[in-house]
Structure 1
Amino acid sequence: MAFELPPLPYNYDALEPYIDTETMRLHHDLHHQAYVTNVNAAVEKHPELNSKSIEELIVNLNNLPEDIRTAVRNHGGGHLNHTMFWQIMAPNADGEPTGAIADIINNNFGDFETFKQHFNDAGAKQFGSGWVWLVRTPDEKFAITSTPNQDNPMTSGSFPIMGNDVWEHAYYLKYQNRRPEYLKQWWNVVNWDEINKRLQMSKH
């Protein structure tokens, strides 16, 4: 089964004014589609991998055939990361976290404002392209971390509960080089219901 580009769960303009329509079109239709196309091309070379989910490929990256490992890391990671990214955003979602994720944030980071500050700081300091994450670590702790390029925390055994894309293509049309401003505004579109679902998934 070839991987497919998932449809956006809302219209291209739904996250205005925080994320502009043109960025959403380019980001979803071109960038994400390219990751899907390229990971499919890599996996086609090894039919024994056809039954694997994208998560299984990324978790077991180091066991993949060497000739496709880098392509799966980059393009498979890009597909996995963006599939999550569209889901954890929503229109009219601005608000404080609720439910279990609110407890996790308060217990581990003090309060939401402190958490946001640490998360944004990690995103701003990620050199070059990459992602900033809240993860559940293999020893069942919660941590803010960042990864370069399209690397996903699953490769090192952590579960990504939420993440923000700090590649320039995610924000440059609207925010130019002002990554910290983009990071700050992104909280206006965070979908806490979906993040609570991912928190549940992280327990398995």
Structure 2
Amino acid sequence: MPIELPALPFARTALEPHIRAATLDLHHGVHHREHVDATNRLLEGSALEQMELDEIVRHARGGLFEQAAQAWNHAFLWTCLSPRGGGEPGGRLAELLARRYGDVAHFREEFTRAALELSGPGWTWLVQHPDGTLGVVTTHGAATPVTGADIPLLACDLWEHAWYLDRHDDRAGYLQAFWNVVDWDAVAARVR
């Protein structure tokens, strides 16, 4: 069963001015598509061919893992963003963030700090651990929490293609813009 490139859940201009349409065209239309296409080429004739993408990521190794994980990470990323994003999380998510970080502001500081400290390409995630607590983790390259016991709640892509057209070498500016498009309702819906 071939993996398909998911459509963006919003119009390509919907995240402007925080993330421009040209960046989404490159990020989704080129990079994400390349990962999906490469995953399908590498899957052809393999024992993993009939699995769902998250299962492929859990079982794949080498080049297939790299491509499938990037396809999964990107598909997840689009579900974390919304033109109605930004603001503050509420409900149980806000309570869990306050319990772990003191308040949402301190969580954002920790998440941003972790993202800025990551050397090279990768991802920063808000995850829920098996014990129910929340945590911020960074992964290098294509690595993803979907291969472990943590539940991914929020992802931030730290590969240059995610921000270079908009921000050039300004990762901090990209992260500041990111907070304006985070879909807290989608993040909260993943909390267990």
Q: TM-score, normalised by structure 1?
A: 0.90
Partner Cα separation in structure 1 for residue 64 and residue 189 of structure 2: 26
What's the offset of the Cα at 1:198?
A: 1.8
The residue aligned with 1:122 is 114
Q: Does residue 1:176 correspond to 2:176, yes or no? A: no
The residue aligned with 1:24 is 24
The residue aligned with 2:5 is 5
Partner Cα separation in structure 2 for residue 138 and residue 85 of structure 1: 21
The residue aligned with 2:139 is 147
Partner Cα separation in structure 2 for residue 86 and residue 130 of structure 1: 16
Identity of aligned residues (%): 34
What's the offset of the Cα at 1:139?
A: 4.3
Pick from 63, 70, 87: which aligns with 2:79?
87
Alignment of 1:40-119 (within 5 A): 40-46=40-46, 48-59=47-58, 61=59, 64=60, 69-119=61-111
The one-letter code matched in structure 2 to 1:52 is M
Instruction: Indicate the RMSD between aligned Cα atoms, in angstroms.
Output: 1.3
Q: Which runs of 5+ in 1 are unaligned?
A: none
Residues 93-124 of structure 1: per-residue CA shift (max 9 Å, x gap):
22101122111111111101000000001001
Partner Cα separation in structure 2 for residue 94 and residue 135 of structure 1: 19
4+ residue runs over 2 A deviation: 137-141
Equivalenced residue count is: 192
> Does the CA-based 8 Å contact 1:38-1:71 persist in structure 2?
no
> Does the CA-based 8 Å contact 2:96-2:133 persist in structure 1?
no
Partner Cα separation in structure 1 for residue 3 and residue 22 of structure 2: 25
Partner Cα separation in structure 1 for residue 191 and residue 131 of structure 2: 15
Higher share in helix = 1
> Does the CA-based 8 Å contact 2:146-2:152 persist in structure 1?
yes
Residues 25-48 of structure 1: per-residue CA shift (max 9 Å, x gap):
1101110000001111111131x3
Q: Does residue 1:185 correspond to 2:177, yes or no? A: yes
Q: TM-score, normalised by structure 2?
A: 0.95
> Does the CA-based 8 Å contact 2:145-2:151 persist in structure 1?
yes
The one-letter code matched in structure 1 to 2:158 is V
The one-letter code matched in structure 2 to 1:162 is L
Partner Cα separation in structure 2 for residue 94 and residue 134 of structure 1: 15
